[in-house]
Amino acid sequence: MRRRLIPFLAFGALLTTCQNAERSLAPKVDGPQFSLSADEGLRGTIAFHSTRDGDFDIYIMNADGSRPTQLTNTPDNDIDPIWSPNGKRIAFNRFNNTFSTLEILVMNAA
């Protein structure tokens, strides 16, 4: 009887321990959040998003900070730019102002 009880108790302890072990690896979000991303392309040009004109738009600049150039100018929020592997295009996210629509867009950048 003792040999049957030990595995049963061990299994019960495992279930009790694992019941509350689940946790999210992502941070809790109470509202819309934006990544503060920047990505460097093959030629050393950095793509980033900024609120320089009031909403989030996509920009590029040289690695030394020179020649900032605005690539998007919409009333929506353009964020999270990332260069394509060949360094000629940039993919980014676009949210509308009510945050009810998300688009993933790709544009020529070279």
Residue range 8-58, pLDDT digits in tens: 565 556 555 555 555 544 445 455 444 455 566 667 888 999 998 888 999
Per-residue pLDDT averaged across 64-86, rounded?
91
pLDDT at 108: 92
pLDDT at 71: 94
Reported confidence tier of residue 98, pLDDT bands at 50, 70, 90: confident
Whether the pTM exceeds 0.85: the reply is no
Render pLDDT for 55-74 as a digit per residue (tens, 0 to 9).
899 999 988 889 999 999 99
pLDDT at 39: 63
**Of residues 85, 86, 89, 87, the one with CA closest to residue 71:** 89
User: How far is CA 15 from each of CA 3, 6, 7, rounded to the nearest angstrom?
Assistant: 19, 14, 12
Where do the domains of the chain lie? 35-110
pLDDT at 25: 45
